[in-house]
Chains A and B, each alone.
Chain A
Amino acid sequence: MARKLLLEHINVPGINTFEVYRSKGGYASVEKALKTLTPEEIVEEVKKSGLRGRGGAGFPTGMKWSFLAKPEGVPRYLVCNADESEPGTFKDRYLMTHIPHLLIEGMIVSSFALGAKTSYIYVRGEMMPQIRILERAIAEAKNAGFLGKNILGTGYDLELYVQPGGGAYICGEETALLESLEGKRGNPRIKPPFPAIAGLYGCPTVVNNVESIAAVVPIINEGAEEYAKIGIGRSTGTKLISAGGNLNKPGVYEIDLGLSCEEFLYSDEYCGGIANGKRLKAVVAGGSSVPILPANLFLKTANGEGRLMSYESLSDGGFVTGTMLGSGGFIAFDEDQCIVRNTWNFARFYHHESCGQCSPCREGTGWMEKVLHRLENGHGKQSDMDLLVDVSKKIEGNTICPLGDAAAWPVASAIRHFRDEFEWHVTHASEATVRNYGLAHYADPLPKPEPAA
């Protein structure tokens, strides 16, 4: 069994309390960082670790940190992105619920490395229970001298606050998040300037995902080299994958990057195969925004190589035959699922969540939703598929923020891989309202494992 870096102690009773967390070696990275390392050395370690942002874009964390502007006399901020709203993604919620001190510990080390004296954790407002958990953990850490003035007698001061959102997927986009934290509507900002130059209150700011910040703890504890030994190629370390949909064992798993997709999906250590003895039809590997893949292409690349859970392997084949690791929101579709209906559902989601600033996104997402709705309900036309592809192309790349792309990709990829199912919705309109298309030729090539007696 692979070693866990983030979830190692997740099942220890009381690990959500400071006492138990500390007794398991918690907050060691704060002592090491504040007492023996300079901020520059920490940034260098994170760079060397190869850690890539776990929020979805996969941008190298150390590099992002090194871009932070440091003008004299201007405060700098670290803001943790705990908005977690990408459909399929539920790893940050899991981490904050069960091992909140890991995030607090990572925030202290990261804030020190960036020279931030006030940091915020922006949590989506629906996660009120997690907000309470974090607030309690912060109070405990402060009581123990790990937050507040003169932490551990080192002279470093840090205040850490939890900020609730108001319910808006777009506030996961980092500049929309900063607007929201300033008490405004979550309209993404035009970049540049990037937050590293002008972020929160116009000051230099780093925004990082919960899991990225948590990963700083083992990087400092074990050293960058040890961390980088885990994984494969430029996908170093471990990754939390939240697995949902039609699985025997949905849940949050910490994997070594580079684990085979087949093992992740079928082994009992992870998802345990498809629920109810059904077969796999399709997979969304990294949250609703990434292209959907039919079972065969998820398990093997177009060259016939076994696919791996890594940034590079999942994107092998580009958008023609590949996808992306994204946020690690893994969704499995069994043979009974309707791709058209799911594509409509996602389009509806993006239309609902578009902030409305750019016309291609605001209008295009609505148009795609409408066309998909009529296809799903037996009123589609053969020309609708080309229309959808055309609309998706007109959105892609023509918007202020990547939500436009995120809305376009699932639609374009569903039509690319499942065009026959869309066409069947037109040619068999009335049948399509009462039954699903089924598996057709999109089955997983593996023999169905016998369900345990």
Chain B
Amino acid sequence: MLRVEDTVQTPVEFSPELLNKFADIVSRYPEGKQKSALLPILHLVQAEFQWVSAPAMDKVAEYLKLQPIEVYEVASFYTMYFLRPQGKYVLEVCRTGPCCLVGAEKIMDHIEQKLGVKEGDVTPDGLFSWRGVECLAACGFAPVLQIGPEYTFYENLTNDSVDKLITDLREKG
């Protein structure tokens, strides 16, 4: 549930490059249907700021000539938009049936233990958070996880491959 007072109120600025990308998306739809750009634009905002804050949503509303509520209700409906700050790397593990048949739950337990934080919480260094997500359309390569904003995919996970991934990301910082 989105509570606007929960989100940081720092004003945001959209760079000219970002605004150019917005304009390119808006051009895909007929005159007056710029609201169609809302989901793609929210993805761009999240890729830029790592989450979607209330001031950012207000700015998007202004840009698309929408009421702020039209943006809030969309951002809160879809699971991909983070309405509060996350770790720099969010490990999203599929937790749906087919993945569980081949060990997804054990992988989630391992990640929790390895990172030392519960689902949804951020590690003290700000680098990681993790959560279970629903079927990622990769059930034949299970267990799987993805990391935004490019949604890089990691398949056939084992405890060892998860350890290596976390070590690599830590080194990268």
A-side interface residues toward B, CB under 8 Å?
75, 84-90, 92-93, 118, 124-129, 159, 161, 163-169, 180-186, 201, 242-246, 250-252, 288, 329, 331, 333-334, 337, 341-342, 345-346, 349, 352-353
B170 interface hit (Cβ, 8 Å): no
Residues 100-159 of B contacting A (Cβ, < 8 Å): 100-102, 133-142, 146, 148-153
Structural contact, B140 and A75, CB atoms closer than 8 A: no
Smallest beta-carbon distance A365→chain B, Å: 13
Structural contact, B78 and A87, CB atoms closer than 8 A: no
Structural contact, B135 and A183, CB atoms closer than 8 A: no
Residues in A neighbouring B80, C-beta threshold 8 A: 125-126, 166-167
Structural contact, B151 and A166, CB atoms closer than 8 A: no
Say yes or no: A185-B73 contact (C-beta < 8 A), given A161-B28, A166-B80: yes
Q: Name the segment of B1-9, B13-21, B33-41 touching the other chain.
A: B33-41
Please measure, in the bound complex, the distance between the C-alpha atom of A349 and the C-alpha atom of B95, giving whole angstroms: 9
Please measure, in the bound complex, the distance between the C-alpha atom of A342 and the C-alpha atom of B36, giving whole angstroms: 37
Structural contact, A251 and B137, CB atoms closer than 8 A: no
Structural contact, A166 and B150, CB atoms closer than 8 A: no
Please measure, in the bound complex, the distance between the C-alpha atom of A165 and the C-alpha atom of B136, giving whole angstroms: 13
Residues in B neighbouring A128, C-beta threshold 8 A: 148-151
Structural contact, B42 and A244, CB atoms closer than 8 A: no
Residues in B neighbouring A124, C-beta threshold 8 A: 137
| Contact among B30, B37, B140 for A250, CB-based, below 8 A | B140
Binding site secondary structure of chain B: mixed
B98 interface hit (Cβ, 8 Å): yes
Say yes or no: A85-B97 contact (C-beta < 8 A), given A166-B42, A167-B78, A184-B74: no
Say yes or no: A85-B135 contact (C-beta < 8 A), given A166-B78, A185-B77, A346-B97: yes
Q: How large is the interface on B (under 10, 10 to 19, 20 to 34, 35 or more residues)?
A: 35 or more
Structural contact, A345 and B30, CB atoms closer than 8 A: no
Structural contact, B140 and A243, CB atoms closer than 8 A: yes
Structural contact, A246 and B102, CB atoms closer than 8 A: yes
B59 interface hit (Cβ, 8 Å): no
Residues in A neighbouring B77, C-beta threshold 8 A: 166, 168, 185-186
Residues in B neighbouring A183, C-beta threshold 8 A: 35-39, 64, 70, 74
Structural contact, A245 and B102, CB atoms closer than 8 A: yes
Please measure, in the bound complex, the distance between the C-alpha atom of A447 and the C-alpha atom of B136, giving whole angstroms: 34
| Contact among A166, A181, A182 for B79, CB-based, below 8 A | A166
Structural contact, A87 and B151, CB atoms closer than 8 A: no
Structural contact, B30 and A75, CB atoms closer than 8 A: yes
Give 26 A-B contacts (CB < 8 Å), ordered by A residue: A88-B139, A90-B139, A90-B140, A118-B30, A126-B136, A129-B152, A161-B28, A163-B40, A164-B40, A166-B80, A167-B80, A168-B78, A168-B79, A169-B135, A182-B33, A183-B39, A186-B77, A201-B33, A244-B140, A245-B98, A246-B102, A250-B139, A288-B97, A337-B101, A342-B100, A345-B96
Structural contact, B78 and A165, CB atoms closer than 8 A: yes
Smallest beta-carbon distance B44→chain A, Å: 10
Say yes or no: A85-B152 contact (C-beta < 8 A), given A168-B79, A342-B97: no
Smallest beta-carbon distance B116→chain A, Å: 26
Structural contact, B141 and A250, CB atoms closer than 8 A: yes
Structural contact, B96 and A87, CB atoms closer than 8 A: yes
Smallest beta-carbon distance A216→chain B, Å: 22
Structural contact, A127 and B40, CB atoms closer than 8 A: no
Q: Taking CB as reference atom, which chain B residue is nearest A410?
A: B97
Smallest beta-carbon distance B163→chain A, Å: 24
Smallest beta-carbon distance A123→chain B, Å: 10
Say yes or no: A129-B137 contact (C-beta < 8 A), given A166-B74, A244-B142, A246-B102: no
Residues in A neighbouring B149, C-beta threshold 8 A: 128
Interface contacts beyond A166-B74, A244-B139: sample of 18 additional A-B pairs, CB < 8 Å, sorted by A:
A84-B137, A88-B98, A88-B139, A90-B140, A125-B80, A126-B80, A129-B153, A163-B39, A166-B39, A167-B133, A185-B74, A186-B78, A201-B30, A243-B140, A244-B98, A244-B140, A331-B101, A334-B101
Residues in A neighbouring B33, C-beta threshold 8 A: 182, 201
Give 1 or 0 for each of B33-76: 1 = CB within 8 Å of chain A CB: 10111111011000000000000000000001000001001100
Structural contact, A353 and B134, CB atoms closer than 8 A: yes
Please measure, in the bound complex, the distance between the C-alpha atom of A84 and the C-alpha atom of B134, giving whole angstroms: 12
Please measure, in the bound complex, the distance between the C-alpha atom of A250 and the C-alpha atom of B155, giving whole angstroms: 13
Smallest beta-carbon distance A70→chain B, Å: 18
Residues in A neighbouring B40, C-beta threshold 8 A: 163-164
Please measure, in the bound complex, the distance between the C-alpha atom of A263 and the C-alpha atom of B77, giving whole angstroms: 43
Residues in B neighbouring A75, C-beta threshold 8 A: 30
Say yes or no: A164-B97 contact (C-beta < 8 A), given A90-B139, A128-B151, A184-B74: no
Please measure, in the bound complex, the distance between the C-alpha atom of A167 and the C-alpha atom of B136, giving whole angstroms: 10
Q: Taking CB as reference atom, which chain B residue is nearest A131?
A: B151
Structural contact, B101 and A245, CB atoms closer than 8 A: yes
| Contact among A129, A186, A201, A349 for B135, CB-based, below 8 A | A349
Structural contact, A180 and B140, CB atoms closer than 8 A: no
Please measure, in the bound complex, the distance between the C-alpha atom of A269 and the C-alpha atom of B144, giving whole angstroms: 25
Say yes or no: A127-B137 contact (C-beta < 8 A), given A163-B39, A180-B39: yes
Q: Taking CB as reference atom, which chain B residue is nearest A161?
A: B28
Please measure, in the bound complex, the distance between the C-alpha atom of A353 and the C-alpha atom of B134, giving whole angstroms: 9
Please measure, in the bound complex, the distance between the C-alpha atom of A381 and the C-alpha atom of B30, giving whole angstroms: 57
Question: Residue among A182, A244, A252 with the most chain B CB within 10 A?
Answer: A244
Residues in B neighbouring A163, C-beta threshold 8 A: 28, 36, 39-40
Residues in B neighbouring A352, C-beta threshold 8 A: 134
Structural contact, B138 and A93, CB atoms closer than 8 A: yes
Please measure, in the bound complex, the distance between the C-alpha atom of A88 and the C-alpha atom of B102, giving whole angstroms: 13
Say yes or no: A125-B78 contact (C-beta < 8 A), given A85-B134, A182-B33, A183-B37: yes
